């Protein structure tokens, strides 16, 4: 299996400083700050990157399970919403809501729901984030 990487540099104190983060592949590099992370400032943040990674992994896992069952997938679109809350005085990811919309010929909505739940459990990012208190998956089937 491959090793993936990313990097970040932070300059200054927590509230007034700023940083940049980059994907190891070079596909993205951009700024982040206290306001982009904990408020509504411009730039990205680590949690947004985790959300994108989780959405991508989950969409691929759902498609892989369906393909293994012999159901070719037209599309699986996924969003991931990450909730941050203070736990014991520290900002903590407490919940991740995955929302998937699938277009898969030859199956019904009930089967799609079953596959989505299996993908939620088996997706490697879900497994990596097992310490998050709650990870939910909601599916919409497009016929």
Whether residue 1 lies inside any domain: the answer is: no
> Would you call 105 exposed, middle or buried from its count of C-beta atoms within 10 A (0-12, 13-18, 19+)?
exposed
Is the pTM above the cut of 0.85?
Answer: yes
- Interhelix angle 46-68/109-122, rounded to 10 degrees, is 130
Tell me what pLDDT residue 96 has.
94
Write the pLDDT tens digit of every residue in 59-78. 999 999 999 999 999 999 99
Residues 77 and 18 reside in one and the same domain: no
Residues 104 and 129 reside in one and the same domain: yes
Residues 89 and 26 reside in one and the same domain: no
Residues 33 and 96 reside in one and the same domain: no
Residues 50 and 103 reside in one and the same domain: yes
By residue range, what is the domain housing residue 118?
46-141
* Look-up of token digits 């069952």: 69
d(CA 58, CA 129): 12
Tell me what pLDDT residue 142 has.
85
CA pseudo-torsion sign 69, 72, 74, 80: positive
Residues 123 and 94 reside in one and the same domain: yes
Q: Tell me the average pLDDT across 3-15.
A: 95
CA pseudo-torsion sign 8, 12, 32, 28: negative
Question: Which CATH number belongs to the domain containing residue 135 in this structure?
Answer: 3.30.300.20
Residues 78 and 53 reside in one and the same domain: yes
Whether the predicted pLDDT of 114 surpasses 90: yes
Tell me what pLDDT residue 136 has.
86
3-state SS, residue 53 = helix
Q: Tell me the average pLDDT across 36-57.
A: 93
Token representation of residue 54: 């989780």
């Amino acid at each position: 299996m491959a090793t993936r990487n990313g990097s970040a540099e932070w300059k200054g104190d927590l509230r007034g400083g700023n940083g940049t983060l980059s994907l190891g592949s070079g596909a993205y590099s951009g700024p982040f700050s206290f306001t982009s992370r904990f408020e509504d400032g411009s730039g990205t943040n680590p949690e947004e990157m985790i959300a994108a990674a989780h959405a991508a992994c989950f969409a691929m896992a759902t498609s892989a399970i369906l393909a293994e069952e012999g159901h070719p997938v037209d599309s699986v679109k996924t969003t991931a919403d990450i909730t941050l809350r203070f736990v014991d005085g520290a900002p903590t990811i407490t919940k991740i809501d995955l929302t998937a919309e699938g277009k898969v010929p030859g199956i019904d909505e009930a089967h799609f729901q079953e596959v989505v739940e299996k993908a939620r459990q088996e997706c490697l990012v879900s497994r990596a984030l097992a310490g998050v208190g709650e990870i939910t998956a909601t599916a919409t089937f497009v016929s």
